[in-house]
């Protein structure tokens, strides 16, 4: 069997879903189809959440817009009346009820209870469309099967709890296709969790691992992994074959094509990952495999935006590399802050972090007795694998370099 993952851009309208059905129908093997929320629904639900948390009744209109969008997709796919409309109505009613009655305490918890609906709606509609197209398919609610810890908004899988359930529920003896949600899961106690933004790729990899898939295919609006984001640099080239290690480094440095957590579950079972274009599904795309002898011979550029660079200075002038480093790192993990670069000198620890402002501020407060913190907001992290002097010049010229780190293969800059 194979796992196919379709992101929001591939299912943003009725046409996209017809295309998904065509790609799916063209596959001979058994399939798990992991689907994200339609288009920008996750962002729109984040807006609903923020408005609701602020006590602003305007959240109702925002939710109505999301509802109308989903109903317009339903109408586009099913010209005749279809029971799927009733299921979507019921699901929206549940969310509205939650918003009427729930306590506005705990941002991360509420985030997961609310924002997870995007994937529920999208998969209900996609599954019904496949069934209607005479594909032998079934909708699965991944909650209750993919079991996670309770770190809301960034949950991690509990392997032993999930494995047995997933193996029994995705049973292909009388089904060809299962459609399920990316990005979401639930705690043992049954509360909905999410795996972090863009987490559907990770779901795809988890299911591929547990079900021993032959491969995971991530269908994208780009022809594969490129050596640079074409919106940033000209003449980006497709990488034909990339090793797991290279792919992890690229995605961790900010290559947005796949989620960095995707690789490990695949690596652990040697399952290849194909990144392919849903616009031209016949094209080869990129294959990510355990090892590759393939030398593409050109630099790979990656940019990560919305970074914050923080320097922690021990107030008592004690050495950074001793107890201080572990103390600060313990807190990064505790607060779930993503650290992208670390540089330590005698009496300072410099880090480049994802700018998750609420978490970073709580951490700085927590450390305020022991460390003073200085920071630069709105910085970018630029990385080049297989760098050359020309490649460095190409992306750093005219930028102010705040930090530079070089290894044999890799150079990274924090710039503004
Ligand atoms: N819908 C979620 C997001 O937009 C998850 C995903 O697309 O992978 O982040
Ligand atoms: Mg997405």
Please tell me the residue having the least CA distance from ligand 1 atom 8.
198
Q: Pinpoint the residues of the chain covered by CATH 3.30.2130.10.
A: 300-415
Which pLDDT tens digit goes with each residue over 131-157? 999 999 999 999 999 999 999 999 999
The alpha carbon of 115 and the centre of ligand 2 are apart by a number of angstroms equal to 13
Neighbouring CB atoms inside 10 A of 276's CB total 22
Tell me how far CA of residue 68 lies from CA of 72, 85, 116, 170, 194, in angstroms. Answer: 6, 11, 18, 32, 24
Ranges of the chain whose pLDDT falls below 50: none
**3 state DSSP class of 179:** strand
- Secondary structure class of 314 (helix, strand, coil): strand
User: Residue 311: which of 324, 302, 295 has the closest Cα?
Assistant: 324
Q: List, in sequence order, every residue forming a beta bridge with 177; answer none if it has no partner.
A: 31, 137
* Ranges of CATH 3.40.1160.10 domains, the chain: 2-289
Q: Flag whether the pTM goes above 0.85.
A: yes
Q: Could you tell me which residues come within 8 angstroms of residue 45 by beta carbon, excluding any fewer than 6 positions away?
A: 37, 66, 114, 115, 117, 118
Report the C-alpha gap between 44 and 64 in whole angstroms: 11
Q: 106 alpha carbon to ligand 2 midpoint, in Å?
A: 24
194 CB under 6 A from ligand 1?
A: no
Compute CA distances 121 → 11, 36, 153, whole Å. 12, 10, 19
CA-to-CA separations, 307 to 64, 380, 385, 413, in angstroms, rounded: 34, 6, 20, 12
Question: In CATH, what is the architecture of 300-415?
Answer: 2-Layer Sandwich (3.30)
The answer to whether the beta carbons of residues 206 and 157 sit under 8 Å apart is yes
Beta strands at 286-289 and 241-243: parallel, antiparallel or unpaired: parallel
Using the Cα atoms of residue 401, residue 198, residue 248 and residue 163 in order, give the sign of their dihedral.
Answer: positive
What top-level class would CATH report for the domain 2-289? alpha beta
Ligand 1 atom with least separation from CA of 119: 1
What pLDDT is stored for residue 158 in this prediction? 98
Q: Check residue 345 and give its pLDDT.
A: 87
d(C-alpha 320, C-alpha 77), whole Å: 60
199 lines ligand 1 (CB under 6 A): yes
d(CA 92, CA 243): 43
Is the CB of residue 206 less than 8 Å from the CB of residue 146?
Answer: yes
């Amino acid at each position: 069997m194979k796992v196919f993952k379709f992101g929001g851009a591939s299912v943003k309208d009725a046409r996209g879903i017809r295309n998904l059905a065509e790609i799916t129908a063209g596959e001979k093997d058994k399939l798990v189809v992991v689907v994200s929320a339609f288009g920008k629904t996750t962002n729109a639900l984040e807006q609903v959440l923020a408005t609701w948390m602020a006590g602003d009744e305007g959240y109702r209109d925002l939710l109505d817009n999301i509802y109308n969008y989903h109903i317009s997709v339903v109408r586009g796919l099913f010209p005749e009346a279809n029971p799927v409309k009733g299921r979507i109505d019921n699901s929206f009613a549940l969310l509205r009820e939650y918003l009427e009655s729930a306590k506005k305490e705990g941002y991360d918890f509420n985030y997961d209870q609310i924002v997870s609906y995007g994937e529920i709606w999208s998969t209900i509609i996609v599954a019904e469309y496949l069934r209607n197209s005479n594909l032998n398919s079934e909708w699965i609610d991944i909650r209750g099967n993919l079991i996670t810890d309770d770190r809301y908004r960034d949950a991690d899988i509990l392997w032993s709890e999930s494995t047995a359930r997933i193996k029994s529920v995705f049973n292909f003896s009388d089904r060809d296709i299962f459609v399920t949600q990316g990005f979401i899961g639930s705690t043992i106690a049954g509360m909905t969790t999410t795996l972090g933004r863009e987490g559907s790729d990770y779901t795809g990899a988890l299911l591929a691992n547990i079900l021993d898939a032959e491969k995971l295919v991530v269908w994208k609006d780009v022809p594969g992994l490129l050596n640079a984001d074409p919106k940033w640099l000209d003449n980006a080239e497709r990488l034909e074959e990339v090793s797991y290690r290279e792919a992890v480094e690229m995605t961790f440095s900010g290559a947005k094509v796949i989620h960095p957590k995707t690789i490990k579950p695949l690596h652990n079972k040697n399952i290849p990952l194909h990144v392919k274009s849903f616009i031209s599904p016949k094209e080869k795309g990129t294959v990510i495999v355990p090892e590759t002898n393939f030398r593409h011979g050109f630099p790979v550029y990656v940019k990560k935006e919305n970074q914050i660079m923080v320097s922690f200075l021990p107030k008592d002038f004690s050495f950074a590399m001793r107890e201080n480093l572990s103390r600060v790192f313990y807190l990064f993990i505790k607060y779930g802050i993503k650290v992208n670069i670390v540089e330590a000198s005698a009496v300072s620890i410099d880090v480049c972090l994802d700018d998750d402002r609420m978490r970073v501020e709580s951490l700085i407060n927590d450390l305020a007795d022991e460390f003073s913190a200085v920071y630069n907001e709105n910085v970018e992290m630029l990385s080049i694998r297989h760098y050359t002097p020309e490649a460095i010049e190409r992306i750093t010229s005219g930028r102010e370099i705040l930090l530079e780190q070089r290894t044999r293969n890799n150079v990274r800059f924090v710039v503004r």
